């Protein structure tokens, strides 16, 4: 049965990988627009799950609860930009790291107060009957997660290459001043990027919670893995984020299956250290040069 | 005698350490003071790495973990005296920092942050998982340093809290003195030069990669000794000492107080160590307040609290 076993590990790897890919895509959008690595990205995932659970438990139908969660998280993303990132424009990288980590701790603290410290979940979208493929099984919810990641990626690709607004975001990430000079409202671009990134994070939380469960403290883990994925793919590259996410998920699942489930989290970080040593720009990154 | 900034810092620090106990309402405050000094020592290392050299580490708790567990394990398994275990921890930390730092210090900004973060997480994972050796998440006992008994034999009787307050204070003074000397040395000047502009520093002959590595190794030793002292003081240690949150706390303390100056960073260590003590009444709000303080200080007082306050006092409203 080793082949079906392998297949089973691959299925679970691709499922968590899809979640990491969504988080990494969220990182990428904000990083491109503002050169900020938003360490609060994982909290968006947590909020997506927690708000949906809360609204669903309060009696709202699941799709409506999910919609509320995604909109509320997007609004929070906009607020983080307006009140924490925008006022600190031009601050050194250390300060920005601390600000976004501060935002992350703040959101966790608030989630503890508003919700609770318990572990929560809500029903899967299409039932819990596993689908059998080649001796292994996959949950219907996994297909939702994987489909979600792919759909978001395609939508982002279309947005950035085929719409005026998307190209404005790209222009801003290339050169903010030049973008302003040709009439792009860069403040709006920043707001949009944070809203989009937060919404994608929340979507990841909504899709993954029936499988992974959620609690106020799950954000930091998603942030670290998503960050690792974004870095593996090459910071700022959406294709890299997608591939990096799936790769981290697969490496983790294979480590857990064949080596040690205790050290599955270590695998991601060992890969990251190796990538940084031997391939500092990531798989799809550009080589950066400094202007003196 | 002309009061150089170096002596001003050391004098202020000595006076604070010597005089504050007169205002302690109870013995408990010695314990809090000792904790501040231990954190202050780690944060002084961050000043060298981040304040002088401009590099970021989000994994320094990993080195604190190595130092702490060296004190727990070396006396039992190697028969070392705890004092030598501190040295062993520092040597292992330095070696690890050198190995990890050599490749990653070529990288900048977020890359270094995430690589060091990965290192810290690996250390804490090993401490959590190797139960046979480390006792796992439940923690492990640490033997007594034995120095207090020695002092008692010499006729100086101190309570445990008093001993660790003054011994920790002394260690912090030595650490601060070394860091301030480094600042004025040619190495310190070169570090500050590469902080300003790596390319400019390189063109005037500074070996950028080597110096960054030096700063990284030195700050790792500071973190390691700080971890050792924490373990010896508590006579107990859990893997939390190497956890991600501890790394974040170190950087936050330094940046909160003012990462450019040793005194400022120690001030930050004091505030962030006191905050949870004050907030025990509002334990539920601790995370909320911590996150808020981190954001507000970084947005409104970018140089950190102490430099901002001093500037205000001098009235140079730059």
What string of DSSP letters covers A64-107?
Answer: HHHHHHHHHHHHHHHHHIIIIIGGGTT--HHHHHHHHHHHHHHH
Share of chain B above pLDDT 70, in %: 96
Q: Which residues of B touch A235 (CB under 8 A)?
A: 110-111
Nearest to A94 among B56, B114, B119 (CB): B56
Sign of CA dihedral A133, A136, A139, A145: negative
- Determine, yes or no, domain membership for B264: no
Average pLDDT over residues B220-242: 94
Please say whether the beta carbons of A97 and A39 come within 8 A: yes
Nearest to B290 among A95, A105, A270 (CB): A105
**Which residues partner with B236 through β-bridges?**
B141
**Torsion of the alpha carbons at B295, B296, B298 and B300, rounded to the nearest 10:** 150
Within chain A, where are the H helices?
Answer: 2-34, 41-57, 62-80, 93-114, 140-162, 164-174, 176-181, 186-212, 219-233, 238-254, 264-278
- pTM: predicted TM-score of the whole model, two decimal places: 0.86
CB A223 within 8 A of CB A39: yes
Question: Who contacts B21 (Cβ-Cβ below 8 Å, separation ≥6)?
Answer: B29, B30, B33, B162, B165
Structure tokens at B188: 């310190």
Report the chain A residue with the minimal C-alpha distance to residue B57: A94
By C-alpha distance, the chain B residue nearest A102 is B291
Q: Does A275 touch chain B (CB under 8 A)?
A: no
Q: How many domains does chain B have?
A: 1
Taking the CA atoms of chain B, what radius of gyration do you get in angstroms? 19
The domains found in chain A, sorted by start residue, are: 2-278 (1.10.3470)
Question: DSSP string spanning B151-192?
Answer: HHHTT----HHHHHHHHHHHHHHHHHHHHHHHHHSHHHHHHH
Shortest Cα distance from B140 to chain A (angstroms)? 20
- The pLDDT of residue B47 is 92
In a domain? residue B197: yes
Domain that includes residue B62, residue range:
30-244
Instruction: Determine, yes or no, domain membership for B131.
Output: yes
pLDDT at A177: 87
- Longest CA–CA span in chain A (Å) reads 63
Within a domain: residue B154? yes
Element containing residue A138 per DSSP (H, E): strand A136-138
Cα distance between the two ends of chain B: 30
The DSSP bridge partners found for residue A136 are A133
Helix (H) or strand (E) holding B278: helix B262-279
Taking the CA atoms of A281, A259, A20 and A225 in sequence, report the sign of the dihedral they define: negative
Domain membership flag for residue B251: no
Q: Classify residue B318: in a domain, yes or no.
A: no
Identify the pLDDT of residue B248: 87
pLDDT at res. B318: 41
Element (H, E) at B82: helix B82-104
pLDDT tens digits, residue range B96-154? 999 888 877 776 667 778 788 888 988 998 999 888 888 888 888 888 888 888 888 88
**Residue B137, min C-alpha distance to chain A (Å):** 13
pLDDT (tens digit, 9 = 90+) per residue, B56-87?
Answer: 888 999 999 999 999 999 998 998 898 899 99
Cα dihedral A80/A84/A90/A92 (nearest 10): -110
Residue B19, in any domain of the structure:
no
- Write the residue in A98, A104, A113 that is nearest to B284 by C-beta: A113
d(CA B192, CA B87) in angstroms, rounded, equals 28
- Judge whether B277 lies within some domain: no
Tens-digit pLDDT profile for chain A (292 aa)? 578 889 999 999 999 999 999 999 999 899 888 888 898 999 999 999 999 999 999 999 999 999 999 999 999 999 999 999 988 887 877 788 889 989 999 999 999 999 988 999 999 988 888 888 888 888 999 999 999 999 999 999 999 889 998 889 888 888 888 888 998 888 899 999 999 999 999 999 999 999 989 998 888 889 888 988 988 888 778 889 999 999 999 999 999 888 887 888 888 788 877 877 777 677 776 655 554 4
**Mutation test of the interface with chain B: which of A30, A94, A256, choosing the one with the most B Cβ atoms within 10 A?**
A94
Cα A275 versus chain centre, distance: 20
Identify which of B56, B114, B295 has the shortest CB distance to residue A231. B114
Q: What local confidence, expressed as pLDDT, does residue B293 receive?
A: 85
Q: Do A110 and B288 touch (CB under 8 A)?
A: yes
- Exposure pattern of A49-86 as b/e (b: 16+ CB <10 Å)? bbbbbbbbeeeeebeebbebbbebbbebbbebbeebbe
The 3-class secondary structure across B200-239, one letter per residue, is HHHHCCCCHHHHHHHHHHHHHHHHHHHHHHHHHHHCEECH
| CB A74 within 8 Å of CB A198 | yes
Q: What share of chain B is helix, strand, coil (3-state, %, to 5)?
A: 80, 0, 20
Kindly determine whether residue B107 and residue A270, on different chains, have CB atoms separated by under 8 Å. Answer: no
Hey, what are B212's tokens?
Answer: 């960054």
């Amino acid at each position: 049965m080793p082949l079906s076993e392998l297949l089973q590990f691959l299925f679970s790897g691709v499922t968590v990988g899809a979640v990491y890919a969504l988080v990494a895509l969220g990182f990428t959008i904000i990083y491109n627009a503002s050169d900020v690595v938003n360490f609060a990205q994982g909290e968006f995932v947590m909020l997506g799950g927690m708000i949906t659970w809360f609204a669903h438990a309060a009696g709202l139908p699941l799709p409506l609860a999910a919609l509320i969660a995604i909109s509320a998280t997007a609004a929070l993303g906009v607020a983080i930009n307006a009140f924490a990132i925008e006022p600190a424009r031009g601050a050194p990288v250390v300060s920005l790291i601390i600000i976004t980590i501060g935002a992350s701790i703040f959101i966790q603290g608030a989630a503890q107060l508003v919700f609770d410290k318990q572990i929560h979940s809500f029903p899967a979208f299409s039932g819990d009957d596993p689908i059998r493929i080649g001796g292994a099984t996959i949950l219907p919810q996994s297909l939702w997660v994987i489909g979600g990641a792919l759909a978001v990626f395609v939508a982002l690709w279309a947005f950035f290459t085929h719409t005026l607004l998307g190209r404005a975001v790209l222009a801003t990430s290339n050169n903010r001043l030049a973008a302003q000079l040709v009439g792009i409202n860069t403040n709006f671009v920043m707001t949009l990027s944070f809203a989009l990134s937060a919404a994608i994070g929340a979507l990841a939380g909504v899709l993954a919670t029936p499988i992974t469960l959620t609690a106020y403290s799950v954000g930091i883990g998603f942030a670290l893995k998503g960050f690792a994925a974004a870095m593996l793919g090459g910071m700022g590259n959406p294709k890299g984020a997608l591939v990096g996410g799936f790769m981290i998920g697969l490496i983790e699942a294979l480590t857990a299956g064949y080596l040690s489930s205790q050290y599955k989290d270590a695998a991601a970080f060992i890969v990251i250290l190796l990538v940084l040593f031997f391939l500092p720009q990531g798989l799809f990154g550009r080589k950066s040069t400094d202007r003196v | 005698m002309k009061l150089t900034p170096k002596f001003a810092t050391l004098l202020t620090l000595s006076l604070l350490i010597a005089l504050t106990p007169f205002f302690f309402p109870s013995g408990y405050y010695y314990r809090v003071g000792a904790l501040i000094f231990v954190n202050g020592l780690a944060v002084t290392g961050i000043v060298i790495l981040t304040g002088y050299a401009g590099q970021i580490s989000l994994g320094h708790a990993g080195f604190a973990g190595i130092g702490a567990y060296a004190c727990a394990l070396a006396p039992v398994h190697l028969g070392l005296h705890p004092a030598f275990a501190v040295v062993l921890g520092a040597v292992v930390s330095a070696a690890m920092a050198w190995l990890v730092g050599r490749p990653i210090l070529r990288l900048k900004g977020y890359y270094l942050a995430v690589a060091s973060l990965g290192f810290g997480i690996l250390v804490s994972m090993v401490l959590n998982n190797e139960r046979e050796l480390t006792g796992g998440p439940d923690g492990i006992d640490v033997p007594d340093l034995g120095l207090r008994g020695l002092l008692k034999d010499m006729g100086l009787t101190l309570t445990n809290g008093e001993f660790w307050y003054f011994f920790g204070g002394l260690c912090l003074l030595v650490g601060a003195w070394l860091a301030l000397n480094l600042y004025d040395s040619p190495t310190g000047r070169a570090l500050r030069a590469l902080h300003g502009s790596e390319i400019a520093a390189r063109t005037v002959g500074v070996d950028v990669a080597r110096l960054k590595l030096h700063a990284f190794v030195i700050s790792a030793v500071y973190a390691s000794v700080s971890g050792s002292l924490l373990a010896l003081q508590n006579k107990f240690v859990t893997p939390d000492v190497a956890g991600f949150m501890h790394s974040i706390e170190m950087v936050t303390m330094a940046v909160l107080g003012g990462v450019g100056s040793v005194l400022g960073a120690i001030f930050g260590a004091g505030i962030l160590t006191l905050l949870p003590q004050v907030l025990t009444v509002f334990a539920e709000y601790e995370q909320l307040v911590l996150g808020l303080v981190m954001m507000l200080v970084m947005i409104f007082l970018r140089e950190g609290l102490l430099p901002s306050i001093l500037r205000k006092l001098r009235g140079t409203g730059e």
